[in-house]
Amino acid sequence: MKSKKITSLLLAAGMVLGMLTGCGAGGSKNAADTQHSADEMIVAISTEPTTLDPCQGWGHGSMPLVQSTLVKYGYDMSFVNDLATEYSLDERGLVWTFKLRDDAKFTDGEAVTASDVVFTFETAKAAQASVDLTFMERVEAPDDTTVIFTLSKPTSVFLNTVASVGIVPEHAYGEDYGTNPVGSGPFKFVQWNPQEQLILVANEDYYGEVPAMKKVTIVFMDEDAAFAAVKAGQVDVAQTAATLATTEIDGYDVKVVTSVDNRGFTLPVLPDEGKVTESGYPIGNDVTSHIEIRQAIAYAIDRELVADVALNGFATPCYSENDGMPWNNPEVAIETDVDYAKKLLADGGWADSDGDGIVEKDGVKAAFTVLYPSGDSVRQAVAMAAAEQVKEIGISITVEGTSWDDLAKRMFSNAVMMGWGAANPYESYCLYYSSGALKDDFYNPEGYMRDVTDGYLAAAMEALTVEEAYENWRLAQWDGTTGTAMKGECPWVWIVNIDHLYYVREGLDIGAQQLHPHGASIPLLQNLQDWEWMS
């Protein structure tokens, strides 16, 4: 209990509590007053989009709201039709054929046709933004309701990609599309004031069920400002943090959404041999390059205790990048075992020879730094709680906050408190495939490169069935002998999946939430069309 109080005080000291005097999106309400417009609401989130153009990455990994997609994710993460009425794959795994519904219209009244789909995917591929379409050889429209994709090789994550790309109108696409979009989704764009608000209204001509919420105002504010807005009754839904969510506010409930939004250490697996990346940044660490060090840390951490102490219980133990997803291997889970952690170190030749509480080997102390982005109280708290626990096995971790720019230069030679989590198994490929190691994109700064893992990942990517793909994603994690899991090569020490937390005004139903990926803002909105006032 004492350590919990200390951690809470540290977190409180690190928070900059902002006071909000006005919302900018509408008049204030008393927090206890549940009277409201029957078809309007105000939502506060912390992350503002950079664009509403799907070809530039908008909606990647979630429902794009303003645009429709060919297919989308169901609640159980299975694929369901959206613009598509059916689809098929040829026996070679190279040609996907989609048949489109014929009643979809853009909000300017023009029909959605196969040529718009072709234009969208060709534009997205040329943009080379966050949508990876390198495997798409060509896309064609033989008629208005048929789209044919030809791939350069079988790609099992193709449907995941399709579910992330909103369809844009060829006739109304231009340089300003990202700030003034036309789409065929459940909502119609009205207004975007950067750093303030985004206003959407229900698309009354939507081919699906028209949203009950006729006007949605999304305001952008950090969690402290949103907390103040909730206390003032100025918003109906507000993203919040674990350090704030224990506060009861009259007229609101706290909605806890399970996520695959993980936090853990990346641990450099290469020794320091004086090498640098293509950008000139140092590679390797003489402590974390020892597998027994990495595994010992993994087994020494009590994840339940970290969740309780650092995050007020608003987290669950994490064992992989995709806990809870259908392609996850349940065998990656491990039990906390401090004695086993100490044995791993002793068997590896690590001992506290000078009695300072830190084990060493060949003159090298088991001491290193974990970096986190300054201002991120969650990552700081998780890192500090884990560092405190591993002291017991003789490993000293210094937790250091720094800028993202500095972190990007030092992450190849230092451990980093990272976060990932996606509704697409392709993330595992990016995190561990050898060709992606030591690049400037944050995916594999630890330098993990293993032929056996590459084999499983390649097989997963090129599988012709979902079942075959899932089996290989699981084998890449753990095949009974080795893998990316903590009981295997352990390039990551996974610690917690953080819960996504929201204050929700009483009487507002935000529907059944899917398992959220990384980032608590946009995933909240992926089922916005299902939200409604119940009283």
3-state helix, strand, coil in the chain (%, to 5): 30, 25, 50
Higher pLDDT: 36 or 96? It is 96
pLDDT for res 6: 33
Which residue shows structure tokens 């078809």? 39
Show Cβ contacts of residue 17 under 8 Å, excluding neighbours closer than 6 positions. 224, 228
Structure confidence by residue, pLDDT tens digits, 426-445: 999 999 999 999 999 999 99
pLDDT bracket for residue 322 (50, 70, 90): very high
Please write the tens of the pLDDT for every residue from 267-297.
Answer: 999 999 999 999 999 999 999 999 999 999 9
pLDDT at 26: 35
Whether residue 284 contacts residue 368, with contact meaning beta carbons closer than 8 Å, is answered with no
Radius of gyration of the chain (CA): 24
pLDDT range class, residue 357, cuts 50, 70, 90: very high
Helices (H), 270-316: 291-300, 303-311
pLDDT at 123 exceeding the cut of 90: yes
Answer for the pair 195, 50: CB distance below 8 angstroms, yes or no.
no
Residue-level pLDDT at 9: 29
pLDDT at 515 over 90: no
Residue 358's pLDDT is: 98
Q: What percentage of the chain has pLDDT greater than the value 70? A: 93
Place of tokens 């939502």: 43
62 pLDDT more than 90:
no
Q: What is the pLDDT of residues 175-225, one digit of tens each?
A: 999 999 999 999 999 999 999 999 999 999 999 999 999 999 999 999 899
pLDDT recorded at residue 489: 98
Q: How confident is the model at residue 61 (pLDDT cuts 50, 70, 90)?
A: low
Query: What does each C-alpha distance from 475 to 31, 267, 349, 447, 454 come to in angstroms?
Result: 51, 21, 30, 20, 11
Among 497, 521, 502, smallest CA distance to 259 is for 497
Q: Which two tokens stand for residue 157?
A: 């994550």
Per-residue confidence (pLDDT) for residue 517, from 0 to 100? 87
DSSP H or E run through 228: helix 223-231
Q: Which helix (H) or strand (E) covers residue 11, if one does?
A: helix 2-14
Q: How would residue 76 be classed by pLDDT, with cut points 50, 70 and 90?
A: confident
Query: What's the pLDDT tens digit per position in 378-404?
Result: 899 999 999 999 999 999 999 999 999
> How far is Cα 472 from Cα 276, in angstroms, rounded to an integer?
32
Query: Residue 166: pLDDT above 70?
Result: yes
pLDDT per residue over 412-423, tens digit each?
Answer: 999 999 999 988
pLDDT tens figures, 9-39: 233 323 322 322 233 333 333 434 445 578 9
pLDDT band at residue 75, thresholds of 50, 70 and 90? confident
Is 112 a residue whose pLDDT tops 50?
yes
